[in-house]
């Protein structure tokens, strides 16, 4: 089992408002642990998500959009199976 980390930064200064962000993981094995860190280029924002490599068995990528309303940022994942958000939990 490998641990694969992906970092994504929300960049409204260079991307269209409804632009999708891609999380690509090539050759993931079902038992691999995927950790996704999402932050923002200019706001105090950070979300952490986890999933297994099983999410990447049919495609090497998953996508999300970031919806901003004032200081509030919402991450919207595409598809039916999405990573689990880690809120006040350990990564184990």
Query: In the chain, what are the domain boundaries?
Result: 3-85
Q: Give the rounded distance of the alpha carbon of 58 from its chain centre.
A: 17
Q: Report the distance separating Cα 61 and Cα 64, nearest Å.
A: 10
- Note whether 20 and 63 are within 8 A (CB): yes
**Mean pLDDT along residues 61-78:** 94
CA atoms of 14 and 16, how far apart (whole Å): 7
Cβ(25)–Cβ(63) below 8 Å: no
**pLDDT, tens digit, 9 for 90 and up, residues 24-57:** 999 999 999 999 999 999 999 999 999 999 999 9
91: confidence class by pLDDT, cuts 50, 70, 90: low
Residue 59 is given by DSSP the state -
On average, the pLDDT of the chain sits at 92
Rounded CA gap, 68 and 56, in Å? 27
Q: What is the pTM of this model?
A: 0.90
């Amino acid at each position: 089992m490998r641990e694969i980390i992906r970092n994504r930064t929300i960049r409204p200064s260079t991307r269209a408002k409804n632009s999708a962000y891609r999380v690509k993981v090539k050759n993931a094995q079902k038992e691999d642990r995927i950790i996704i860190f999402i932050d923002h280029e200019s706001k105090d924002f950070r979300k952490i998500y986890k999933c297994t490599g099983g999410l990447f068995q049919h495609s090497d990528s998953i996508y999300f959009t970031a919806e901003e309303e004032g200081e509030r940022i919402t991450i919207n994942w595409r598809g039916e199976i999405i990573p689990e958000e880690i809120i006040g939990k350990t990564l184990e």
